[in-house]
Structure 1
Amino acid sequence: MGLCQRWRRLRLPGLQTCRLHTAAVPAPPQWLAERLGLFEELWAAQVKKLASVAQKEHRTIKISLPGGQRVDAVAWSTTPYQLAQQISSTLADTAVAAQVNGELYDLERPLETDSDLRFLTFSSAEGKAVFWHSSTHVLGAAAEQLLGAVLCRGPSTECGFYHDFFLGKERTVRGSELPALERICQELAAAAQPFRRLEASQDQLRQLFKDNPFKLRLIEEKVTGPTAIVYGCGMLVDLCRGPHLRHTGQIGGLKLLTAEYTRRGFSEVKTPILFSTKLWEVSGHWEHYQEDMFALQPPDSDRLSSSLSDHATSHPADTLALKPMNCPAHCLMFAHRPRSWRELPLRLADFGALHRAEASGSLGGLTRLRCFQQDDAHIFCAPDQLETEIQGCLDFLRSVYTVLGFSFRLALSTRPSSFLGEPCLWDQAEQVLQRALEEFGEPWELNPGDGAFYGPKIDVHLRDALGRPHQCGTIQLDFQLPLRFDLQYKGQAGAPERPVVIHRAVLGSVERMLGVLAESCGGKWPLWLSPFQVVVIPVGTEQEEYAREAQRRLQAAGLVCDLDADSGLTLSRRVRRAQLAHYNFQFVVGQKEQSKRTVNIRTRDNCQLGERDLTEAVQRLQELQNTRVPNAERVF
């Protein structure tokens, strides 16, 4: 069975009450029952062995606790959880794992020697990883029981987890199966199934997972010692280093969100997908993490779009956050807990997908779409911070457009006839924007009455290669959202004050910006944006291996590099083909270059840069890409 088959990736958020669906759970597959039976045999033998060791040694060990306290414990008997109970019931309830002499440790795993013991709660990065990784086992158990899934990987991510598993070449999870799968996840969590840690030999591992080719491959590649760790939880038995929660009851309620498939096998998608109520309610972390209810999704994987996105979010003050709902979502994030004047300005950015009900006749290429991405940002600041923040937005906008090679025109749009709010606030806001524009030093014009109903704005206009104008970036002041969402922060004097919101987009619609760039570049993309950066061309078959080495070196440096070893074409034809495809650079390697470990470099405009050392050439291209120069071919 190949690894690059279809997978199901399931994402689970929480904090939503889910209705239980009745559905018959099929009898577990034979291989699952056999695996569980073997695990129980091995577990019983381990318990017996540990009890014998504890009885034989029966020695006291010294445990150092946080705060300098030292207590006695019994080797192979006392657990971190028992010590947490002695300290306080609150700690026992909120601890998710322990750290013993710097090693992550299960709370129910007996201590063995004198130890420096620390407890991990959900407030720590390690604690979150334990909590979320334990939750993947719940999903894996449900998928095995209901679907007969063959499990692969279920890692935690920075803000959640996912689980990959295999159902067959063409099998996918049907929508009608999700409620039943969700019900089983909830039942497993409610059952408070303990996580049991088993140390197994390589032969035992291979026997446990004889029906799972993915685990067998992991055992072959990753298990280098005589033993490895397996965890049992209910009917689930999985290869895992741990540690885990004491039992599934600490997880709370789960709800399935989405399922999708990929052919990439052991792929990693770092997406926040799990949110669970119980632990947060007990430990008081829910309010602090409510903002994580929104998930960060990367933009389209296309090189052009992702390069633009990376460039437009490189402002050091921006906090990348969250998938769409844009203005209301960011307001909810601001309001989810009390704020202080010390937190301002608070900057949130979003590259989420947006939808507009555009009339079909108004749609056009990439410049106007019904679904698009926008580098949407909102800055919550105090009134006396407005001018500085606007100036920062303008500086950021200029730096981005300079790299993209665009000149731009600015317009100040003032109060429309259908405005909301007090005229005095509008006057104040327009004066702030005007002062910022004057200090910015670029030409601007007044656009009376064209502001948004909630506040004045600065619009940014570009022209493409055909002379067509496009509104891309915008900077808007908003006094209405803070009122409507009752946003407040504690001022320096202690009294509640209301922030001002700045809406900021630099690229505007990413798709529209790509369209304008495409017209402007005419297919000759700058190196840092180009989908065709370098092609290596061997003169003859004797140089093909060296050419492949050069290709690997370039790819390892993060450059897009292809190889043209087509022996059916002459060297000049292959060079010409690369230039017509607009590869920024062609690296030609012949016998001389191979012997000297050099490359002969040409540009897409047939400028011959001559022979260069391979290592130096790779480093130079990497430098030119990282600095986003617009004319890498000329300054190489």
Structure 2
Amino acid sequence: MEPIGVLKDGQIYDLQTAEALNIDGNTIKADDSKESLEILRHSTAHLMAQAIKELYPEAKFFVGPVVTEGFYYDFKVNSKISDEDLSKIEKKMKELADRKLPITRHETSREEFYEEFKNDELKQAVLKNIKDEVITVYKQGDFKDLCRGPHLPNTRMIRSFKLTRVAGAYLGGDEKNEMITRIYGISFFDKKALNDYVTMIEEAKKRDHRKLGTELELFTFNDDIGAGLPMWLPNGARLRSKLEHILYKAHRIRGYEPVRGPEILKSEMWKISGHYANYKENMYFTTIDEQEYGIKPMNCVGHIQIFKNSLVSYKELPKKLFEYGVVHRHEMSGAMHGLFRVREFTQDDSHIFCTQNQIKEVIFEVLEFVDSLLKLFDFKYEIEVSTKPQKAIGDDTFWEKSTKGIMDALDEKNIKYGIDEGGGAFYGPKIDIKILDAIGRKWQCGTVQVDMNLPSRFNVEFINDKGEKEQPVMIHRAILGSFERFIGILTEHCAGEFPFAIAPTQVIFVPIAEPHVVYAKELQKELLENSIDSEIFDMNESLNKRIRMAEKQRVPMIVVIGDDEVANQTIALRDRRKREQSNLSKVEFIELLNEIIKGSRI
């Protein structure tokens, strides 16, 4: 395979940059590895920009980075570009790739670049974010752009790609700025990998939780209410409540105590915690009696104050507090995406206060909790350790010690993990749980974060075995991440076919005729007393049509009731999931459903 770059100290360099800067490292080849795909996709982004420039000569370009789902480019043209235009741009990209254009790196001064693009406001906006006096430009044919790379040596290597969607984006991610156009795409060296990805995308469209959420009447959004503020309809609220109950019981069995903190705190609290300095742009503020308050984006500060309410003995540690905490975060309008990215959400949040010697024990217990819950929903998952971000509190010694402590704990149990450099919370390193859904996509959900900064800032103490005051370690922990995001992921994972234990409607009764409705209502009441939700399809339609309507609701079980069932107090059961039919007594039926629910405990 052809060399395309060099990897040194975690940094990717293309061949031209490595030669110019005299950098030696591990060779990156065109093999669909993470590093090689970054080079390919960045180059494909430039190829797309070149195609857009030929099709729309007035086009101006902002940035075109590689992202988790491929790449994108932000740009501005006079025409309105829609998804229907993507095939035209793809065709032009193929033409350019076939020209086998060399991709060359050039150095220039800020002044020269500024003068050349003085009438291009987007290029000037990019230049403002670069402090270097000598900057790099990459050229291919008649197209060139300000860029650090890395890039392939030639467009001939860009063969297997697809443009996936058009979106709007605020210039620089700031919603105060103008909205420009963004096109997303994906590329691989291997054509089969691209075809597999396209197949996955098509399947993802069928499973889109926004589409299923509407069809199954789970949730809705209303612009009159506000962007990013989901409203749970009865079906969705029932599903969510069942998930909450399963999780609540699991917490209590594991020794967690329920608490509830306020949703609005004085800004002084957020200044002490560091959120004001490091997270303010993501928060909402208001003024009450000339005092500034911040609406909580996280639950940790409230839990700290609850812990401090009484002096705790070492014998009570680890002390585990948990809350289904509603939080609000300021997300950009263009970033909203169904339940995945909202401005109000509820975390299955916990904060565990423990001693230094208990950290490993707590981490192991949390990971067991994660494992049992994700297995319940048939999720596979991966673990990553996220290290110190650019904006952080605490000295390097704390970060090195805490990060090493997490890794040592995982190593001790032979738990495999990856590293997410710079992905930690601003107050400490963390373990991130990445779940894999039914079609192979990876999602960030749960997290475990070791924190000694906030206990220090708030003077949190307990009485140790010597009768002295000592600072505990605080471990932030969420398993689902948020109910909203997890339900969105779960909806797509199971394509709306929810497990029986949390299905919004678990049984649909279909009475054959009017005389059978009374017995259906009796059964419905008995199921409700067992916390099982059901509906009765007695609308003025034919029996076959009502059964088809029930099938479309994706309920686990359908029960048809006729003369024999009423006379014998039995039911004719259709298990949609197992594709089985059976006749049971009423008592057997209820026992069967309760056994299924019992098997869903964690």
Q: TM-score with structure 2 length normalisation?
A: 0.52
Alignment of 1:372-411 (within 5 A): 372-411=345-384
Residue of structure 2 equivalent to 1:596: 568
Three-state SS of the structure 1 residue aligned to 2:434 is strand
2:312 to 339, 352, 359: 339
The equivalent position to 1:318 in structure 2, one of 248, 256, 269, is 256
Report how far residue 432 of structure 1 moved. Answer: 2.5
Quote the residue 1:627 is aligned against.
Answer: 599
Match of 1:503 in 2: 476
Aligned partners of 2:488 and 2:581: how far apart in 1? 31
1:518 aligns with 2:491: yes
Identity in percent? 33
Partner of 1:431: 404
Q: Shift of the alpha carbon at 1:614?
A: 1.0
- Cα 1:339–1:556, aligned 2, differ >3 Å: closer, same or farther? closer
C-alpha separation in 1, matches of 2:569 and 2:520 = 10
Residue 499 of structure 1 aligns with an amino acid whose one-letter code is P
Deviation at 1:428, TM superposition (A): 2.9
Corresponding position: 1:613 with 2:585: yes
Find out whether 1:360 has 2:333 as its counterpart.
Answer: yes
TM-score (norm 1): 0.49
- One of 224, 244, 253 as aligned partner of 1:309: 244
Q: Where in structure 2 are the equivalents of 1:405-420 lying within 5 Å?
A: 405-416=378-389, 418-420=391-393
1:299 touches 1:306 (CA, 8 Å); kept in 2?
Answer: no
**2:325 partner letter:** G
The Cα shift of 1:299 comes to 13
- 1:440 is displaced (CA, Å) by 4.5
Q: State yes or no: 1:578 paired with 2:578.
A: no
Runs of 4+ in 1 over 6 A off after TM superposition: 298-301
In terms of Rg, which structure is larger? 1
Q: Report the alpha carbon displacement of residue 442 of structure 1 after superposing the two structures with TM.
A: 4.2
Q: CA deviation at 1:606?
A: 8.0
In 2 relative to 1, CA 505–440 (structure 1 residues): closer, same or farther, beyond 3 Å?
Answer: farther
- CA deviations 1:328-352 (Å, max 9, x no partner) are 1111122233222112111111212
Number of the residue aligned with 1:447: 420
Any idea what SS the aligned residue of 2:312 has? coil
Aligned residue runs from structure 1 range 55-70, under 5 A: none
State the alpha-carbon separation in 2 of the partners of residues 468 and 406 from structure 1.
11
The amino acid of 1:352's aligned partner reads G
- CA shift for structure 1 position 393: 0.8
Note the alpha carbon deviations across 1:439-492, whole angstroms, 9 max, x for none.
Answer: 445431122333223211101112445654321110000010011001111211
Equivalent-residue separation in structure 2 for 1:486 and 1:399 (angstroms)? 35
Query: Does structure 2 retain, via aligned residues, the 8 Å contact 1:331–1:487?
Result: yes
Give the CA deviation at 1:303.
1.3
- Cα separation, partners in 2 of 1:540 and 1:346, compared to 1, 3 Å: same
- Which residues of 2 match residues 553-572 of structure 1 at below 5 A? 553-566=526-539, 568-572=540-544
In 1, the alpha carbon distance for the partners of 2:418 and 2:439 equals 23
Residue by residue over 1:418-439, the C-alpha shift from the partner in whole angstroms, topping out at 9 and shown as x without a partner, is 5433434333322321233234
Please name the residue that 1:230 is paired with: none
Inter-CA distance 303–442: structure 2 relative to 1 (3 Å threshold): farther
Is the CA contact (8 Å cut-off) linking 2:432 and 2:448 kept in structure 1? Answer: yes
Please tell me whether residue 476 in structure 1 is matched to residue 419 in structure 2. no
Letter in 1 for 2:421: P
For 2:445 and 2:320, locate their aligned partners in 1 and report how far apart those are by CA, in whole Å.
Answer: 20
Q: Does residue 502 of structure 2 align to residue 529 of structure 1? A: yes
Structure 1 residues 578 and 494, CA gap change in structure 2 (3 angstroms)? same
Looking at structure 2, the residues matched to 437 and 517 of structure 1 have their Cα atoms a distance apart, in angstroms, of 27
Q: Whole-Å Cα distance in 1 between the matches of residues 339 and 355 of structure 2?
A: 37
What is the alpha-carbon distance in structure 1 between the residues aligned to residue 402 and residue 371 of structure 2? 22
Larger fraction in strand: 2
Give runs of aligned pairs for residues 15-164 of structure 1, distance below 5 A: none
Provide Cα deviations, 1:383-416, integer angstroms capped at 9, x if missing partner: 1111101111111111111112211111011234
- Give the total of aligned pairs: 332
| Contact 2:379/2:437, CA 8 A, preserved across alignment | no
CA distance in 2, matches of 1:599, 1:307: 25
User: 1:411 and 1:521, CA in 2 relative to 1: closer, same or farther beyond 3 A?
Assistant: same
5+ residue gaps, structure 2: 1-231, 264-295
* Counterpart Cα distance in 2 of 1:457 and 1:508: 13
- SS of aligned partner of 2:589: helix
Q: Distance in 2 between matches of 1:381 and 1:526?
A: 35
User: Is 1:304–1:529's contact at 8 Å kept on the other side of the alignment?
Assistant: yes
| CA distances 1:150-171 after superposition (whole Å, capped 9, x unpaired) | xxxxxxxxxxxxxxxxxxxxxx
Q: Give the Å deviation of 1:302.
A: 0.7
CA deviation string 1:195-220 (max 9, x = no partner) = xxxxxxxxxxxxxxxxxxxxxxxxxx
1:547 to 511, 520, 539: 520
Give the C-alpha shift of residue 497 in structure 1: 1.1
RMSD, matched Cα: 2.4
Contact in 2 for aligned 1:538/1:565 (Cα 8 Å): yes
Task: Write the deviation string for residues 97-154 of structure 1: whole angstroms up to 9, x where unpaired.
Answer: xxxxxxxxxxxxxxxxxxxxxxxxxxxxxxxxxxxxxxxxxxxxxxxxxxxxxxxxxx
CA separation of 1:440 and 1:309: change in aligned 2, threshold 3 A: farther
Label 1:561 to 1:411 Cα distance change in 2 as closer, same or farther (>3 A).
same
Structure 1 CA distance for aligned equivalents of residues 415 and 558 of structure 2 = 40
Task: Tell whether the 8 Å contact from 1:579 to 1:606 is kept in structure 2 after alignment.
Answer: no
Q: In 2 relative to 1, CA 299–441 (structure 1 residues): closer, same or farther, beyond 3 Å?
A: farther
Distance 1:555 1:339 in 2: 42
Indicate if the aligned counterparts of 1:579 and 1:603 stay in contact, CA closer than 8 A.
Answer: no
Q: Which runs of 5+ in 1 are unaligned?
A: 1-297, 631-636
**Given the superposition, is the C-alpha separation of residues 299 and 546 from structure 1 closer, same or farther in structure 2, using an over 3 Å criterion?**
closer
3-state SS of 2:509 partner? strand
1:327 aligns with 2:300: yes
SS of alignment partner, residue 376 of structure 1: strand
For 1:321, the aligned partner's letter is V
Output the CA distance in 1 between the equivalents of 2:244 and 2:413.
25
| Partner SS state of residue 394, structure 2 | coil
Aligned residue type for 2:305: L
Deviations 1:280-310 (A, max 9, x none): xxxxxxxxxxxxxxxxxx9998112222222
